[in-house]
Amino acid sequence: MILQSLKELALREQLLAQPGFQPKEVAWVITLDEGGSFLGLTSTVTGGGGKTKPRAKKMLIPRQSGRTSGAEAEFLVDKSEYVLGIEPDNKRHPADLEKRRGLFAAKVRAAAEKTGDPGLRAVCKFLLSRDEVGRCVGKLGAEYKSNDLFAFSFAGAGGVPVHLSTAARQYWTESRKLQEGGYQQCLVCGAEAPPVEKHPPIRVPGGSTSGVALVSFNSDAFESLGLERNENAPICRDCAEAYTTALNRCLDKAYPSPVEEGKLLGRRNLRLSQDTTAVFWGEKDGDLLDLFAAILDGSDQDAVQALFGSPYHGRPLTIDSSRFYALILSGAQGRATLRGTHLETVEAVAGNLRRYFDELAVSPAGPVPLWRLLKSLVLGGDLEILPPGLAGSFFLCAISGAVFPRWLLTAALIRARAEGERPVPYERAALIKAFLNRNLRKELTVALNKDNTDPGYRLGRLFAVLENLQGRAIKNASATITDRFYGAASTRPQSVFVRLVHMAQHHAAKLDGGIFHQRLIAEILSAIPAIPATLSLEQQGMFAVGYYHQREDLWKKHDRPEQREEQANEATLEEGENQ
């Protein structure tokens, strides 16, 4: 069903309007005259200022083979080692490079002899002339990269690349038909057709820059019934190219429209970690699909308001009952790894997202982007060390409404205990609250709840009050109680709180009584019959949320009656001392 829906996406968006061709970034265009003489070399790379990465121009090129090892030339558009017999890294032996150049030239020569096209003949003459190739190499210098693609332009073709000429298109289409073999029933369309020998590659983050296969059989252990390699999952070439083109479209943040020049198709991916990406699409286009990535990555706050139907932030999203698809993909050098799938209606996904943001809300500060939540779970916020599968699992829980895995709470609490200076930032508090509300139905509120009598929550509040009291009594302390005691207080409270409360009396004395803090400590302790010796993992989560809520409440910049009373008492004491 997933591959069928991807094929339907390719057909609906006319991604295969040019059969046998695919959009790829072509970095260099070599211009030739009719005799094959080198006229010039043009770079199509633009950008690179500020945070923008330099990108080459995308153009339709003959669909590539997806080679993984060994020497195999592409048709008319390829890397420097095949087109010019050079590479920037100097890793290959000169004889190996010469072999690759020969393979590329042989394909062009066959096309030129078959068609007699002037552009193809010019490229063939160029490739056979070491002097002309040498002039091009001299012009190129060392500015190119190993994965840069090179194409050709014929001066007499009005600027149309040679590989897009009528003759080259017809030749390429006919030559592909000759590559077909025996017939099997396609698993996608059900028709009897020759199965594709090698599935086209997809560009998954973390995988090879040339792309990796989603379907492949590279070992006898994966084969059965006497079938070899991809015969074990026969898919015809049309379907294979359709589903991989649709996947590449979803994986690309700036995929060009095949029917409208200069227009980009809507974003259909969300980067979760260094090598893991979520891709999504629908049975039909709609508001939620267009804003889905922006809703989760925080790039458009109005999109979140639209999800909730806010009348103050534009129109609400149009939600229907059409199907919604999502895949979690990770890249490796050999193949793509499918880490998870989700199939539901757009209406259900929208409802699950609303619930997800409600559960995360831990202060009025607004929704937290998914990437910031994930960064709060790893040392230094480095997503490269995020455990495999964690990001994908969390994403699927967010859109499916499933309970969060227990390791999510474990990871958040481990980071809280390890980072003494600021153990529970907004993102981590939101994650812990969402876990407790969804998995354990704790019904934690957005802000401080003074009526919550849970021991873990109360002890977290108490620790925040003691921290605040110390901070007011001792300015710029070299080590705070949070630095020294948060880990012990949140796991073995009985061993530290007696000492901390005793210390608080000294801190309060420095504030001439500290009436406000003393009353708050007494109010919190009134609901705790006895300080427990240990706290379970869930109670440690309650401790973290209570600590965050109380800390935020204490640092709010508004004038409380309690604070006014404390200030008045302190002023009276100071006046008496002066008299």
Last residue of a domain, which of 359, 377, 402? 402
Task: Report d(CA 341, CA 327) in Å as an integer.
Answer: 5
Q: Position of tokens 């809280």? A: 416
- Exposed, middle or buried: residue 19 (CB in 10 Å: 0-12, 13-18, 19+)? middle
Task: State the DSSP code for 424.
Answer: S
pTM: 0.84
- Verify that 499 and 547 share a domain, yes or no: yes
264-321 residue pLDDT tens:
999 999 999 988 999 999 999 999 999 999 999 988 888 888 888 765 555 678 899 9
In a domain, 91, yes or no: yes
- Verify that 305 and 220 share a domain, yes or no: no
Of the pLDDT bands very low, low, confident and very high (cuts 50, 70, 90), residue 561 is very low
Task: Report d(CA 178, CA 192) in Å as an integer.
Answer: 17
In a domain, 237, yes or no: yes
pLDDT for 578: 46
- Report whether 412 contacts 543 (CB < 8 A): no
- Verify that 314 and 240 share a domain, yes or no: no
Task: Report d(CA 105, CA 217) in Å as an integer.
Answer: 31
Query: Which residue range is the domain that position 277 belongs to?
Result: 269-402
Last residue of a domain, which of 185, 217, 247? 247
Cα distances (angstroms) measured from residue 58 to each of 202, 273, 309: 16, 26, 38
- Verify that 238 and 291 share a domain, yes or no: no
pLDDT for 545: 98
- Verify that 537 and 391 share a domain, yes or no: no
Of the pLDDT bands very low, low, confident and very high (cuts 50, 70, 90), residue 510 is confident
Of the pLDDT bands very low, low, confident and very high (cuts 50, 70, 90), residue 246 is very high
Cα distances (angstroms) measured from residue 341 to each of 9, 281, 344: 17, 12, 10
- Report whether 415 contacts 357 (CB < 8 A): no
Pairing of strands 269-271, 192-193: unpaired
Residue 170 carries which side chain, given as an amino acid letter?
Answer: Q
With 90 as the cut, is the pLDDT of residue 509 above it? no
Task: Report d(CA 261, CA 93) in Å as an integer.
Answer: 42
pLDDT for 128: 95
In this prediction, what percent of the chain has a pLDDT beyond 70?
91
pLDDT for 571: 46
With 80 as the cut, is the pLDDT of residue 113 above it? yes
In a domain, 378, yes or no: yes
Kind and range of the H or E element at 25? strand 21-26
Which among 162, 58, 189, 54 is positioned nearest to 108, based on CA atoms?
162
- The whole-chain average pLDDT of the chain stands at 89
- Verify that 25 and 157 share a domain, yes or no: yes
Which among 353, 372, 362 is positioned nearest to 547, based on CA atoms?
362
How many domains does one find in the chain?
A: 3
Task: Report d(CA 536, CA 543) in Å as an integer.
Answer: 10
With 90 as the cut, is the pLDDT of residue 573 above it? no
Which among 83, 57, 92 is positioned nearest to 140, based on CA atoms?
83
In a domain, 415, yes or no: no
In a domain, 572, yes or no: no
Q: Count of H helices and E strands in the chain?
A: 20, 12
Last residue of a domain, which of 402, 436, 470? 402
Return the beta strands (E) in 357-473 as ranges: none
36-48 residue pLDDT tens:
999 999 999 988 7
With 70 as the cut, is the pLDDT of residue 220 above it? no
Cα distances (angstroms) measured from residue 16 to each of 77, 194, 210, 239: 19, 19, 20, 11
- Verify that 81 and 193 share a domain, yes or no: yes
Mean pLDDT (whole number) for 367-384: 93
Which among 225, 189, 197, 224 is positioned nearest to 213, based on CA atoms?
197
- Verify that 12 and 53 share a domain, yes or no: yes
In a domain, 407, yes or no: no
In a domain, 416, yes or no: no
- Verify that 377 and 484 share a domain, yes or no: no
Task: Report d(CA 48, CA 32) in Å as an integer.
Answer: 29
pLDDT for 559: 44
- Exposed, middle or buried: residue 322 (CB in 10 Å: 0-12, 13-18, 19+)? middle
Rounded to a whole number of angstroms, the distance between the first and last alpha carbons of the chain is 86
- Verify that 95 and 234 share a domain, yes or no: yes
- Exposed, middle or buried: residue 282 (CB in 10 Å: 0-12, 13-18, 19+)? buried
Beta-bridge mates of residue 527 = none
In a domain, 493, yes or no: yes
- Verify that 94 and 186 share a domain, yes or no: yes
Structure tokens at 385: 């060390």
Show Cβ contacts of residue 530 under 8 Å, excluding neighbours closer than 6 positions: none
- Verify that 299 and 394 share a domain, yes or no: yes
Show Cβ contacts of residue 189 under 8 Å, excluding neighbours closer than 6 positions: 4, 7, 236, 238, 239
